[in-house]
C-alpha cells in the first residue's frame, strides 16, 4: 500500500491541537484515505480473531490488575 502525502497547513494543525486541548478529542475529517482505513481495520480484525490481543490492565508488576471500569481496551 502506498502512503499518501497529505499535507495540512500550520493553521489546520493549530486548530486541531486547540480542539484537542479544549475537548480532549479532535475530529480530523479525511485525515487518512479510505484505503488506509480499511487496511488498518483489517490488521486489527486479524489480530482480534486470532486471539492476539490481550486485555489492557492498570498498575505495574505486582500491582497489575484488570479493571474494565477503568480500562476496557486491548493491547497487541
Tell me the three cell numbers of residue 49.
480473531
Residue 10 predicted with pLDDT over 90: yes
Work out the end-to-end distance of the chain between its first and last CA atoms, rounded to an integer number of angstroms: 22
Give the pLDDT score at 73: 85
Please state the pTM of the whole predicted model: 0.57
Q: Answer whether residue 20 shows pLDDT above 80.
A: yes
What band does 2 get if pLDDT is binned at 50, 70 and 90?
Answer: low
Using one digit for the tens of pLDDT, what is the confidence trace for 34-74? 999 999 999 999 998 888 888 888 888 788 888 888 888 88
Nearest 10 degrees: Cα torsion 34, 24, 68, 32: 10
- pLDDT given at position 4: 58
CA 73/CA 76 separation, integer angstroms: 10
Amino acid at each position: 500500500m502506498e502512503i499518501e502525502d497529505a499535507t495540512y497547513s500550520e493553521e489546520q494543525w493549530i486548530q486541531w491541537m486547540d480542539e484537542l486541548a479544549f475537548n480532549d478529542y479532535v475530529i480530523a475529517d479525511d485525515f487518512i484515505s479510505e484505503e488506509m482505513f480499511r487496511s488498518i481495520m483489517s490488521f486489527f480484525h486479524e489480530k482480534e480473531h486470532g486471539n492476539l490481543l490481550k486485555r489492557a490492565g492498570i498498575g505495574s508488576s505486582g500491582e497489575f490488575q484488570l479493571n474494565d471500569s477503568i480500562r476496557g481496551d486491548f493491547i497487541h
